């Protein structure tokens, strides 16, 4: 493709200077990077082995390598690597220089967990944590965060949202590192951390690695953490020239240590004299979406001053605000899908983007009920019916409906039946371990009457000294006996009442909090369970328990068939959508507290930073659309007049920072949708535009100015 004037200037950037490129979504930055590298090799005559491109993930690195191969030929193609690969190359150089030892590398996450469990097992016993493996995941996340931010463990703990019961993580980090060094092993994060620490502590080591490259080109710079930033600084030294490409407005990985400050300020501090370029023309979406996204992201204060403008050949993108109310007897999301398909589109062109998977539960149920196949990118736990806590509740309800463990097995139960029984018998976990919980499920199926299987298991498989575990199993056996008796008597309770009793008996919420570790993670799972509870309340009316459980089984069967469908609607998270695009994007559940998410106990001092993070994520999600973007929100009586007045901007006086399922997301208020939708009409010279006035037309007028369009929208006095 022909380069735009903005792209051409970047490609021709002087060979002896650093550069920072701020590129909006859909601005063709990959093409620009390929042509910049080609210019270095063809016009600059730089040796391809002395040029390296650093990408954020393996897929991006491979894609760029393929593009470079097509453009330059295999012999002239430089390296395209990830940050961790760059760390590995640096470690190898340090080993050759005698500054580092060739320790064993474990890339398998399960080995990192196993090592961590061994390190922290005694600490878990000391601090009353029953399941070291669960704690190990949180501890390893803490270790990785310390290594990515290069801050003292105490500061990382204070800055983060770690539960108070994990305060021992701070002191135990040193023990973890002591044992890692003693065993001479490295895990994934150490591929960057170890060379950075070696070079930080030994100037001779740092000097040794400098000079390997003349040019370093880095993509997605807004996503890097401090250790990655420092690694680039060391490898470049005062020799290599660095060109970093990214968009501060798309800094959405704060939980991994990413900070907008690296691309906004620290790049210029560490690479002085760098020229800043802007790629602000997008060819992905049209003027209406560019305008709306500009209004949203301008709510952030910590960002570069830039405006996204749609290019001449960008598609016309339509924006739709849909209220979350049935239309023609069907849920709104189903009507949107049917409308798209009816216009000749297909399911693979569509995506449902959610802030959290728990907020997709309503969409999942609606699609299942109407036989629309979908797949969820995020694992089985993201599926409301396959989440282990919901699966457990469904299993117990089936037992009460007489649809599970109907008769004793004459011999050994089949493996499938054992797995299904274990799904509900051992959730919440009884602490038996994988093998013993399977044995319990087997014995329960062999002797189902009066929970005999449970008592037999206690007498044969639990040591007499482990009284507390025996009591937990016996207690679970009481539930089995009660529910199976209901199933045999055919005296069925209402599904909603049964579910309420199950939640109380199993103390589900407490179990989720204990297992999740972080309150934020627990809230996500609890929300998913609550969505199932609400579905049962609404859809079990007028049905007997067996009838309703048959309905649930139909939904499960539909879900299984959807997994095999070659054409299916994708449901994924806003975080996972970054770097992707779809003709039609649907964003459901846009109410205050759902998006932006409002943590249960957020520190007031952190509210503004939190909102800026959430706003960036909303911006990323909305800019994935090409032809159509659907917002689905509650029928908020304040929203319509706000949009019709073309207000946009600050809406603190309308939307308080509090959860309110009846109030639309503040980001919809900020988007100035009515004015944004009017922009294509204005540019087309539509009649009546002269009478258009708005409370905050400044951004739109600036947009018109950049397009050299002489019309301006008047400001309401």
Give pLDDT, residue 164: 85
CA–CA dist 78, 52 (Å, integer): 6
Which of these ranges, 13-17, 66-70, 73-77, 520-524, has the smallest mean pLDDT?
520-524
Contact status, residue 390 vs residue 532, Cβ threshold 8 Å: yes
Average pLDDT over residues 331-353: 95
Which of these ranges, 62-71, 356-365, 624-633, has the smallest mean pLDDT?
356-365
Alpha-carbon distances of 408 from 398, 412, 456, 487, rounded to whole Å: 16, 10, 15, 14
CA quadruple 39, 44, 48, 50: dihedral sign: negative
CA–CA dist 184, 171 (Å, integer): 21
CA–CA dist 388, 166 (Å, integer): 25
Give pLDDT, residue 668: 96
Block residue for tokens 């005559």: 45
Burial class of residue 69, CB neighbours in 10 A (0-12, 13-18, 19+):
middle
Give pLDDT, residue 379: 61
Give pLDDT, residue 490: 87
Give pLDDT, residue 560: 83
Average pLDDT over residues 280-304: 96
Alpha-carbon distances of 460 from 233, 425, 434, 440, rounded to whole Å: 62, 18, 17, 10
- Give the three-state DSSP class for 466: coil
CA–CA dist 169, 539 (Å, integer): 45
Average pLDDT over residues 155-182: 92
Question: Percentage of residues in the chain with pLDDT exceeding 90?
Answer: 72
Encoding tokens for residue 338? 């049917």
CA–CA dist 307, 441 (Å, integer): 60
CA–CA dist 37, 48 (Å, integer): 9
Average pLDDT over residues 391-415: 89
Report pLDDT digits (tens) over 599-608.
876 777 778 8
Cis peptide before 428 (omega within 30 of 0): yes
Confidence band for 163, pLDDT divided at 50, 70 and 90: confident
Contact status, residue 573 vs residue 354, Cβ threshold 8 Å: yes
Report pLDDT digits (tens) over 204-234.
999 999 999 999 999 999 999 999 999 999 9
Give pLDDT, residue 150: 96
Report pLDDT digits (tens) over 472-484.
999 999 999 999 9
Among 404, 554, 380, CA closest to 484: 404
Residues 6+ apart with CB under 8 A from 162: 138, 142, 169, 518
CA–CA dist 603, 580 (Å, integer): 33
Give pLDDT, residue 380: 59
Q: Distance between terminal CA atoms of the chain?
A: 46
Encoding tokens for residue 620? 């990323």
Give pLDDT, residue 716: 87
- Give the three-state DSSP class for 52: strand
Q: Is the pLDDT of residue 445 over 80?
A: yes
Side-chain half-sphere exposure of 457, counting CA atoms within 13 A = 30
Q: Is the pLDDT of residue 35 over 90?
A: yes
Encoding tokens for residue 531? 């969505």
Q: Is the pLDDT of residue 1 over 70?
A: no
Which of these ranges, 156-165, 298-307, 676-685, has the smallest mean pLDDT?
156-165
Contact status, residue 648 vs residue 672, Cβ threshold 8 Å: yes
77, β-bridge pairs: none
CB neighbourhood size of 1 (10 A): 8
Among 311, 319, 322, CA closest to 674: 319
For 659, list phi and psi in degrees, rounded to 5: -70, 135
CA–CA dist 293, 625 (Å, integer): 11
Report pLDDT digits (tens) over 518-549.
777 788 888 889 989 999 999 999 999 999 99
Question: Percentage of residues in the chain with pLDDT exceeding 70?
Answer: 99
Q: At what angle do helices 58-72 and 29-42 cross, to 10 degrees?
A: 50
The overall longest dimension of the chain from CA atoms, in Å, is 87
For residue 397, what is the DSSP state?
H
Buried b (16+ CB within 10 A) or exposed e, 292-329: bbbbbbbbbeebeebbbbbbeebbebbbebbebeeeee
Q: Is the pLDDT of residue 431 over 90?
A: no
Sheet of strand 275-279, all strands in order from the earlier edge strand to the far edge: 79-82, 51-55, 215-218, 241-246, 19-23, 275-279
Q: At what angle do helices 190-201 and 83-96 cross, to 10 degrees?
A: 50
What's the mean pLDDT when you consider all of the chain?
92
Q: Is 624 left (phi over 0), alpha (psi -120 to 50) or beta?
A: alpha
Q: Is the pLDDT of residue 399 over 90?
A: yes
CA–CA dist 704, 199 (Å, integer): 50
Give pLDDT, residue 280: 95
Give pLDDT, residue 391: 93
For 432, list phi and psi in degrees, rounded to 5: -85, -25
Q: Is the pLDDT of residue 514 over 90?
A: no
Among 531, 556, 544, CA closest to 395: 556
Q: Which residue has the higher pLDDT, 380 or 677?
A: 677
């Amino acid at each position: 493709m022909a380069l735009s004037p903005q792209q051409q200037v970047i490609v021709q950037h002087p060979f002896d200077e650093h550069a920072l490129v701020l590129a909006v979504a859909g601005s063709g930055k990959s093409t620009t990077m390929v042509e910049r590298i080609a210019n270095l090799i063809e016009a600059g005559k730089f040796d391809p082995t002395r040029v390296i491109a650093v990408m954020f993930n393996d897929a991006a690195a491979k894609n760029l390598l393929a593009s470079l191969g097509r453009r330059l030929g295999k012999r002239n193609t430089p390296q395209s690597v990830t940050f961790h690969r760059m760390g590995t190359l640096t470690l190898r150089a340090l080993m050759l220089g005698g500054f580092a030892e060739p320790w064993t590398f474990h890339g398998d996450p399960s080995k990192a967990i196993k090592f961590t469990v061994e390190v922290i097992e005694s600490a878990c016993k000391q601090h009353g944590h029953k399941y070291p493996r669960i704690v190990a995941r949180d501890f390893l996340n803490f270790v990785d965060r310390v290594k990515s931010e290069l801050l003292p463990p105490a500061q990382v703990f204070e800055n983060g949202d770690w539960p108070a019961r994990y305060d021992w993580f701070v002191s135990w980090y040193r023990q973890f590192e002591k044992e890692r060094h003693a065993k001479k092993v490295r895990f994934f994060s150490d591929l960057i951390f170890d060379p950075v620490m070696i070079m930080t502590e030994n100037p001779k080591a740092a000097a040794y690695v400098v000079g390997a490259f003349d040019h370093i080109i880095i993509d997605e710079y807004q996503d890097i953490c401090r250790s990655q930033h420092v690694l680039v600084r060391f490898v470049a030294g005062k020799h290599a020239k660095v060109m970093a490409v990214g968009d501060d407005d798309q800094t959405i990985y704060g939980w991994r240590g990413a900070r907008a400050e690296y691309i906004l300020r620290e790049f210029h501090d560490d690479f002085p004299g760098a020229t800043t370029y802007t790629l602000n023309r997008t060819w992905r979406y049209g003027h209406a979406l560019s305008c709306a996204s500009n209004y949203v992201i301008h709510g952030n204060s910590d960002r570069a001053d830039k405006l996204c403008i749609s290019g001449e050949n960008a598609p016309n993108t339509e924006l739709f605000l849909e209220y979350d109310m049935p239309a023609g007897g069907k849920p709104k999301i189903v009507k949107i899908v049917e409308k798209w398909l009816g216009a000749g589109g297909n399911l693979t062109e569509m995506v449902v983007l959610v802030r959290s998977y728990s907020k997709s539960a309503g969409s999942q149920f609606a699609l299942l009920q109407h036989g629309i196949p979908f797949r969820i990118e995020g694992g089985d736990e993201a599926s409301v019916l396959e989440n282990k806590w919901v699966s457990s509740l469904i299993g117990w309800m089936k037992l009460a409906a007489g649809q599970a463990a109907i008769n004793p097995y004459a011999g050994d139960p089949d493996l499938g039946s054992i797995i299904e029984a274990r799904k509900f018998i051992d959730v919440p976990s009884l602490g038996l371990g994988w093998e013993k919980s399977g044995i319990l499920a087997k014995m329960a199926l062999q002797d189902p009457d009066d929970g005999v299987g449970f008592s037999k298991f206690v007498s044969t498989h639990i040591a007499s000294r482990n009284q507390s575990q025996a009591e937990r199993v016996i207690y679970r056996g009481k539930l089995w006996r009660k529910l199976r008796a209901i199933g045999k008597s055919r005296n069925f309770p209402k599904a909603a009442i049964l579910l309420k009793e199950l939640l109380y008996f199993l103390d589900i919420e407490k179990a989720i909090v204990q297992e999740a570790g972080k309150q934020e993670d627990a809230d996500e799972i609890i929300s998913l369970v609550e969505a199932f509870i609400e579905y049962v309340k609404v859809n079990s009316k007028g049905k007997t328990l067996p009838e309703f459980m048959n309905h649930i089984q139909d939904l499960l069967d539909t879900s299984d068939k959807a997994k095999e469908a070659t054409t299916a609607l994708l449901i994924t998270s806003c975080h996972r959508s970054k770097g992707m695009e779809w003709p039609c994007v649907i964003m459901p559940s846009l109410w205050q507290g759902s998006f932006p998410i409002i943590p249960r106990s957020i520190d007031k001092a952190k509210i503004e930073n939190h909102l800026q993070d959430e706003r960036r994520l909303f911006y990323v999600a909305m800019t994935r659309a090409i032809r159509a973007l659907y917002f689905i929100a509650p029928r908020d009586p304040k929203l319509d007049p706000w949009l019709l007045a073309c207000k946009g901007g600050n809406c603190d006086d309308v939307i308080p920072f509090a959860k309110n399922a009846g109030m639309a997301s503040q980001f919809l208020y900020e988007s100035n949708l009515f004015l944004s939708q009017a922009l294509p009409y204005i540019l087309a010279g539509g009649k009546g535009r002269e009478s258009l006035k708005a409370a905050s037309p400044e951004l739109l007028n600036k947009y018109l100015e950049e397009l050299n369009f002489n019309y301006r929208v008047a400001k309401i006095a």
